[in-house]
């Protein structure tokens, strides 16, 4: 498997925290990158990279940026919980423009999905590696978004399903847990994704011979992970880092909010929460 893609790779959201990590990490591997964001790129431009400011709502500009690209890494859009009207444009319409560009170019899409697409699943009682796989969520679990941001990520994965079934556009949906320099609380012992594991995941997804439509739990090799089966074998990715090294430092850091601590989405689940009692574990049960 080659280490450098044959065609340029388009990265949306390049000025964001994860976009900047990827721009630097993939440039170090010798990749030719086209970077774009609605905000200016704050760092020195990496070798073999170009940058153009663009709004994801501008479908014509996305088509221009994607011309000749073999893959689109879609990290653009609203990246935190916001009102629906704020999320709708970049995260729904913008995603459509990305997939239309991919369809025209025959490009693969890596979609930066999120654990917040399934955030209202309850946490395992004692999440650890000794649990049977069925105790952890598989990639085919039901969507249970914990807010409008999470809802947009579920929409994005379904968009990928549609474009694979109807147009043959390959797509890798990475349900990112908590991608920061290090874990900062007990929840992140389950959800943390290191920057190096993120870069290795993205590189594997682009370079894999075939992906079809697949879903990957994007977290490091954390014994306490909430998540189990996915399609990582399809791209040959295995995380190398682990949150466990930080257990003594952050294992005692909890919020004290019963809603936040009950659900996998953490604080996103507790935002504007008005339900009198917890929703049932079975998403279709009365309760």
Among the listed residues 246, 253, 269, 108, the one whose alpha carbon sits nearest the alpha carbon of residue 182 = 246
From residue 234, give the alpha-carbon distance in Å to each of 99, 212, 215, 269. Answer: 21, 9, 10, 31
Name, in order, each residue with C-beta under 8 angstroms of 32's C-beta and a sequence gap of 6 or more: 5, 7, 8, 9, 48, 49
Backbone angles phi, psi at 204, to 5 degrees: -65, -40
Rounded to whole angstroms, how far apart are CA atoms 170 and 168? 6
Secondary structure (DSSP) of 42-71: -SPPPTTEEEEE--TT-HHHHHHHHTT-SE
Catalytic residue numbers? Answer: 149
Strand, coil or helix: 157: helix
Strand, coil or helix: 74: strand
Are the CB atoms for 2 and 25 separated by under 8 Å? no
């Amino acid at each position: 498997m080659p280490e450098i893609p044959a065609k340029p790779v388009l990265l949306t959201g390049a000025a964001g925290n994860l976009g900047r990590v990827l721009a630097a990490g993939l440039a170090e591997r010798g990749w030719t990158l086209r970077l774009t964001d609605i905000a200016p790129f704050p760092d020195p431009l990496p070798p073999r990279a170009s940058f153009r400011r663009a709004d994801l709502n501008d479908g014509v500009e996305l088509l221009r940026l994607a011309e000749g690209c073999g893959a689109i890494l879609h990290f653009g859009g609203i990246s935190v919980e916001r009102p629906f009207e704020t999320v709708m444009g970049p995260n729904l319409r913008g995603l459509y423009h990305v997939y239309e560009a991919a369809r025209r170019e025959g490009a693969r899409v890596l979609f930066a999905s999120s654990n917040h697409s399934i955030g209202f699943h309850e946490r395992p009682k004692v999440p650890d590696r000794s649990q049977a796989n069925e105790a952890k969520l598989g990639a085919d679990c039901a969507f249970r978004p914990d807010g409008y941001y999470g809802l947009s990520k579920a929409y994005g994965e379904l968009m990928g399903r549609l474009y694979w079934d109807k147009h043959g556009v390959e797509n890798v949906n990475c349900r990112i847990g908590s991608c920061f320099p290090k874990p900062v609380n007990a929840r992140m012992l389950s959800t943390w994704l290191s920057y190096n594991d993120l870069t290795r995941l993205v590189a594997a997804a682009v370079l894999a011979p075939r992906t079809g439509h697949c879903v990957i739990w994007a977290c490091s090799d954390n014994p306490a992970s909430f998540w189990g089966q996915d399609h990582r074998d399809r791209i040959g990715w295995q995380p190398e880092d682990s949150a466990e090294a930080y257990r003594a430092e952050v294992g005692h850091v909890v919020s004290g909010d019963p809603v936040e601590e009950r659900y996998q989405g953490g604080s996103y689940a507790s935002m504007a929460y008005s339900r009198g009692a917890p929703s049932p574990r079975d998403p279709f049960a009365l309760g």
